[in-house]
């Protein structure tokens, strides 16, 4: 049982390059999330998808776009990477209900030079 799978695990980009981070879950969850984690800060929500075909902005959406390709997959795109987007990116999914736990992938470590 893989849970939430993120690819790639590591990536180095140059300023201005574009990139798509991939996320897939095999738990049949409706809700999926993208977070970023920076040193000394709590996780911050970038985008959220309540179900296939719907997406909503989170706390820090600027510079990012998302696509909920189907129920399993939720991708995050950086159109023109900036050094401020250097971070660890986590994808998560959860089932229906406010008290359902979020299941996280192991993250993509992204450095932008």
Partner 1 sequence: KNQVEQSPQSLIILEGKNCTLQCNYTVSPFSNLRWYKQDTGRGPVSLTIMTFSENTKSNGRYTATLDADTKQSSLHITASQLSDSASYICVVSALSGYALNFGKGTSLLVTP
Query: Which residues would be at the binding site for partner 1 (CB under 8 A)?
Result: 4, 31, 40-45, 48, 50, 56, 58-59, 90, 92, 98-99, 101-107
Report, in Å, the least distance between residue 21 CB and partner 1: 14
Q: Select 62 or 98, whichever has its Cβ closest to partner 1.
A: 98
Report, in Å, the least distance between residue 80 CB and partner 1: 26
Cα atoms found within 13 Å of the Cα of residue 107, Cβ hemisphere only: 12
Report, in Å, the least distance between residue 56 CB and partner 1: 8
Q: In whole angstroms, what is the distance from residue 111 CA to residue 100 CA?
A: 32
Burial of 23 (C-beta count, 10 Å sphere; 0-12/13-18/19+): buried
């Amino acid at each position: 049982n893989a849970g939430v799978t993120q690819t790639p695990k590591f990536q180095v980009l140059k300023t201005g390059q574009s990139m798509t981070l991939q996320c897939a879950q095999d738990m049949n969850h409706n809700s999926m999330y993208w977070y970023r984690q920076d040193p000394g800060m709590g996780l911050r929500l970038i985008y959220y998808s309540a179900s296939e075909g719907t997406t909503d902005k989170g706390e820090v959406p600027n510079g990012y776009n998302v696509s909920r390709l189907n129920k399993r997959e939720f991708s995050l795109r950086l159109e023109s990477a900036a050094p401020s987007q250097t971070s660890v990116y986590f994808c998560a999914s959860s089932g229906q209900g406010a008290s359902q736990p979020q299941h996280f992938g192991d993250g993509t470590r992204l450095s932008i030079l």
